[in-house]
Structure 1
Amino acid sequence: MHAFSANRRRLLALGAALAASPLGERIALASTAPEPAAELAGVTLRVATYKGGWPPLLAAAGLADTPYKIEWHELNNGLLHIEAINADALDIGSGSEIPAVFAARRKASVKFIARTREDLNNQVTLARKDTPIQHIAELKGKRVGYVRATTSHYFLYRQLTEAGLSFDDIHAVNLAPADGLSAFDRGDLDAWAIYGYNGQLARNRYGARELATGKGYLSGNFPIYANPRALDDARRRAAIGDLLVRLRHAYAWANPHFVEYARAQSAETRVPAGDLVAMFNRRSDDYSLLQVTPDVIAGHQEVADAFARIGVLDGPANVAPFWDASFAPIIQSA
């Protein structure tokens, strides 16, 4: 745990006050605390985002007016987030547990300071509508698309293992998501393990049938990655704490106001808001931002061990030293 100066304690106290206030009062409350806000006025956080991610979420929730500057960088891959953090080009990023496993293996300069809970029903293994495949066990000998070293790789491995199969029993085809959708459309794949909006497109456009989702195979924890150099800087650390509080409240707001968030996402992504709402309505869990707990670290280690066992990693990875629970008090206070 870092030692806090008096100013840093005041800044984190402001974050707690923001967290405790009603949604409509948060921005007004920030403006009534000029001394801490002034201290953060010269801070710039370099934050990686996904298209349709945190910027429209914060804006839709009315929480985008921060007392510090955010320099957004759109990087639609968690590995890129970590690489940029490791190179000191970013302060904050996010992604699944999988890039975090690789970061731990190569001892990257990164910490995992919080986690979001996201939908596991859009992490899915699909069969083409014109195949007789009804169960994972029937994938033996079939052409199955996936994205190597991602959540789809991991949940497909778990689903195959449960069905008494392995990757050696299928014709596994590693494809980027857009290429996988095209291959699925052409009939080059019998089944496809995929995540995000591409799975929804496969259902809507091509009548894909769901064999299994990621629920029960993935933890649902998606780490927030941080630059250790930013955490060691008092003012940037305080700004990071404030951003975590804002994101926690924004996720809590989005669950009962998802139509508004979907419209904001659609404006940025051009994905129809109706499709986004349909995905949300079949979600596995509500969205949230949560603190680091021991079970999160233990679950992440299970992923690392599995990838080492099947040869995706070139050796063991110990993830525990990369998790940082020091923001737990401010997150819990929200």
Structure 2
Amino acid sequence: MKLSRRALLASIPAATLLPQRSFADDLSQVTLRVATFRGADQTLLRTTGLDDFPYKVVFSEFNSGNLIARAIDADAIDLGAWSEIPMVFAASSGARVAVAATLEGPTTNQAVLVPTRSPLKSFSDLRGKRVGYIRSTTTQYFLLKMLARHNMTLADITPVALGMSEGLTALKSGSLDAWATYGYAIEILEADNSARILESAEDILSGHYFIGINPQHLGDTGFKTASADYINRLGKAYSQLNADKPRWARAVAPDVHVPEPLVLSYLNHMNRAYHTRPWKPSDIATASEVAHTLGGAGALPPNPNLASVFTPALSSLLNG
């Protein structure tokens, strides 16, 4: 169900809903309202000591990129990251969001799981089965791609859109036959012998994540300077922690409530390091493939104008 702008604003912590302001060149007068996932930006910057910002940062925690895109559209957030999938949904809906940079990342730890004792042996065995996924995320996209690989469509399964916690509960309780998911959930379910990977999405996803920015403030020099500095700091934090996975795991484990050995296993199995950089035209091309797939399944209008969402406003200020 699509939330109204008023309802969305009401669902976001009051601390993020700062009054309208005019950004000044003096960065001490700038406030960035930044979206973070649990164990992500805020944790990484704090761990590496890179949170000594010359501007004010107000973090708000989200659990999916599509909510971050909607919060930027509602002028409740200034900066946040998401995969290609929330971006193409935002672009197709005419949302007031812009892509300022690319965060390259791993494609591992994204897969379709089945209960460990499930009789299902191959993806084709999912015909007629209840398959969960997380709407407007990578799972919706790679599920469609997997179905196509096996000459199947959504009509061949019973798709069930669920949030992360609901999907985890549903798979463990037996109310789902399979679950398309990502992240630490896979490590947790494999570790307690609750589930196994039926098919991995490792070779389906591009590994491109986008850093979205609030286009309503791009006319302010202070806002642009602070935003670029923030992205560069995030890139530096990732660079340090990519080289020290045990430190990364120690920092993240308490925040995500996952045992440190499982976090370290997750980090050690990443097939690519995280890296921030200015976006490139090829990023639009890979996002267009996502849009084509989702459009073909009727999940969004055909041929959204993705290029219009990408802004060069910060490109000359970014490292990488």
Q: Is the 8 A contact 1:149 1:312 kept in 2?
A: no
Q: After superposition, where does 1:8-23 map in structure 2 within 5 Å?
A: none
Cα distance between partner residues in 2 of 1:87 and 1:129: 42
Q: 1:315 Cα shift?
A: 4.5
Please state which structure has a larger fraction of its residues in helix: 1
Q: Is the 8 A contact 1:158 1:217 kept in 2?
A: yes
Q: 1:60 Cα shift?
A: 1.3
- Deviations along 1:259-301, one digit per CA (max 9) or x if unpaired, are 2122222232222222111111111211111220111001101
1:134 match: secondary structure = coil
**1:149 counterpart residue number:** 136
**1:305 counterpart residue number:** 292
**1:273 counterpart residue number:** 260
Tell me which amino acid in the other structure corresponds to 1:256. A
1:296 match: secondary structure = helix
Q: 1:314 Cα shift?
A: 4.1
Cα distance between partner residues in 2 of 1:280 and 1:260: 11
**1:292 counterpart residue number:** 279
Cα distance between partner residues in 1 of 2:62 and 2:185: 18
Tell me which amino acid in the other structure corresponds to 1:84. A
Higher deviation after alignment, 133-142 or 285-294: 133-142
**2:226 counterpart residue number:** 239
Cα distance between partner residues in 2 of 1:150 and 1:280: 21
Q: 1:198 Cα shift?
A: 1.7
1:69 aligns with 2:59: no
**1:125 counterpart residue number:** 112
Q: 1:109 Cα shift?
A: 1.1
**1:164 counterpart residue number:** 151
2:192 aligned to which of 195, 205, 216: 205
Q: Percent identity?
A: 36
1:179 aligns with 2:166: yes
2:59 match: secondary structure = strand
Gaps (5+ residues) in structure 2? 1-24
What stretches of structure 1 move > 6 A for 4+ residues in a row? Answer: none
Number of aligned residue pairs: give it.
296
- Deviations along 1:47-86, one digit per CA (max 9) or x if unpaired, are 1111111011011122110111101111222122122211
**1:20 counterpart residue number:** none
- Deviations along 1:4-29, one digit per CA (max 9) or x if unpaired, are xxxxxxxxxxxxxxxxxxxxxxxxxx
CA 61–128 in structure 1, closer or farther in 2 if over 3 Å, else same? same
Cα distance between partner residues in 2 of 1:125 and 1:77: 18
Cα distance between partner residues in 1 of 2:191 and 2:227: 39
Cα distance between partner residues in 2 of 1:270 and 1:181: 15
Higher deviation after alignment, 141-150 or 252-261: 141-150
Higher deviation after alignment, 88-97 or 265-274: 265-274
- Deviations along 1:143-168, one digit per CA (max 9) or x if unpaired, are 22112222111101101111111111
Q: Is the 8 A contact 2:55 2:226 kept in 1?
A: yes
Q: 1:239 Cα shift?
A: 0.5
Q: Is the 8 A contact 1:185 1:206 kept in 2?
A: no
1:256 aligns with 2:227: no
Gaps (5+ residues) in structure 1? 1-37
1:230 aligned to which of 217, 224, 228: 217
Tell me which amino acid in the other structure corresponds to 2:154. F
Cα distance between partner residues in 2 of 1:80 and 1:147: 12
Q: Is the 8 A contact 1:120 1:213 kept in 2?
A: no
TM-score, normalised with respect to structure 1: 0.84
Cα distance between partner residues in 2 of 1:325 and 1:254: 28
Q: 1:316 Cα shift?
A: 3.7
